[in-house]
Each structure stands twice: as C-alpha cells, then as structure tokens.
Amino acid sequence: MTAITMRHAEIIQKLGEFYTLLAQLGSFEPSLVQIPSPDAPAPIRRTAALGAGYTEEVVNLMEQLPYISKGPNIWDPEIFGSTEPIDYTKCENENAFRTWREYDDGQDQEDEDGNPDLIPGSLVKLTEIHLYGITLLYDTQTCLLIPWQPFENPDDTIGYAHVPAKRPSEVLNPWIEGYRTFNFMHTPQGNLWDTERLRPDPPEHLGPKAQAKWWATRAVDEALFKLKDVYLECGWNMTSPVQHTFDRAKFIEMRKQYIDEVVLPLKRKEHEAWKAPHQPDEL
C-alpha cells in the first residue's frame, strides 16, 4: 500500500465494495468496474487535473478510486435516485476536470475577484446529479464524505457547509445494505429506490382517472420488486457480503424471461393508462 491508499483506504474500499455489488446484482457487466491499484493506477491526466486546481493529493487519489465505465450493457448508470458516478478517467483536459469543481445547487457564485466560485481543490466530487440527487463530496483533508442534496437546501442557504460530514462507511453502508436486501434495485425496466412506492393505497387527493394511472404504475413496481424471488432462487444471500452460491448467469437468463412474460405486459398497460387524455379530476 502507498501513503494515499492507506490514508484513504475507507473510501477506496467502500466504493469498490459498492460497485462490485452492483455488478454482481446484474446492474452491468463486472468488466465495467475499474479497481485500480498502486501498481496499476487509473489513467488520470495529471497535468490537466492539477491545472484545474485540484491538489496533488486529490489527483493521487483519483488514480486509486474505483470507477464504473459506461458501456453498451449499462441501461442506467444511476447508483441512487438521480445520482450517477463520476469517472475521472474520461476527463481529457482542464475544462473537463474544472467542470466537476462547480457547485450543484444552481446558484451563480463568484469569488471576490468576480470569477466563478469553485469547490475547494482538496475535495473530490464522486457523483453527479440530476435535480434531486445526492452529490457525494470527499474531503481529502479530513477523510470524510459530505452527502449533499443541493436542491433540498434550506431557504437562503448556498453550498454544502451546513451538511454534516461523515465517515464513508456511514454514508455508503446503507446504500450497500439496501441493494443487498433489495430495498433498492436496478432493473432493465426501471430503477427502484424505495419500497414506500408499494404503499397499499394511492394518495387520497387523486381522482378516479389519476388513481387508475397510479395503480398501473404500482403494478409494474410490485412486479419488479418480485425479482427478489428470482435472485433468491438463484442463490443470493442477503446477509453475506460475499456471494458464494449465487448463479449470476442463471439469474440474468431468468430475469429476462420474467421481464418478458410478467413485467412487459404490465408496462404496456401502464403506457395505455398514462396515454389517456388528462382529466379534470387529476391533481
């Protein structure tokens, strides 16, 4: 181990565990998970990263962080709702690196000289968001992770200073556990982040037509969550961090059959329900 991998071992290990788990679950091919090592660092363009204002420690860490490469077998690179991993090996110049130092809250911020204000160069952003996602900021000075939800900032709050920093395991363990126990799930027909979507009844304020749409969507979600049974049939162990008995190839085949025979007919019904003209009772 090097000084970098020792000092930042927790974030490196937890990201690697998380991405490997997603590959095991069939979210994408295992070959798309990049796990660097001191002898085989990730191909980061160091000069461009340093020119963008990152500290040398951050650039050294970038060379050791795990990454997910987007490829033809990824249907959605989200790792959580509206949250995607950043792959710094794809940054080709200073501007590309500098983009990831911009704030994610939509606020135009400037420093005292009138230049765009950027996240400190000692922090590395691990995720990008689409509106209501979670920006993960790793602080190389404290070795803590800041789980910032920019569009849920309190009124008159700019930036992430109000967000408590936590150990990487405190942030990522609930995500890892959520996937391992199927509270969260990637599927080729949609990603599911919360079993609350399976609440027994629609919101009371919905009229009859809107309720019909709600039930059509719920039927799809319920069918997708039942993929849990397919995982278990193929040997998935919800209590073990290592899957010794899971037959991934068998699962991929059975998942396709289940989606074709069960999920897609429900998706067609959902499409028909939502294609219906807007009604006055739909709030």
**b/e map 69-93, b = 16+ CB within 10 Å:** beeeeeeebbbbbbbbbbbbbebee
* CA-closest candidate to residue 143, choices 58, 38, 44, 19: 58
The pLDDT profile of the chain, 283 residues, written as one tens digit per residue, is 899 999 999 999 999 999 999 999 999 889 999 999 999 999 999 999 999 999 999 999 999 999 998 765 554 578 988 899 999 999 999 999 999 999 987 665 666 665 678 999 999 999 999 878 999 999 999 999 999 999 888 877 888 999 999 999 999 999 999 999 999 998 988 888 776 557 678 888 888 888 889 899 999 999 999 999 999 999 999 999 999 999 999 999 999 999 999 999 999 999 999 887 665 555 5
Q: Copy the structure tokens of residue 171.
A: 């942030």
Answer yes or no: pTM beyond 0.75.
yes
Q: How far is CA 86 from the centre of its chain?
A: 10
126 touches 85 (CB < 8 A): yes
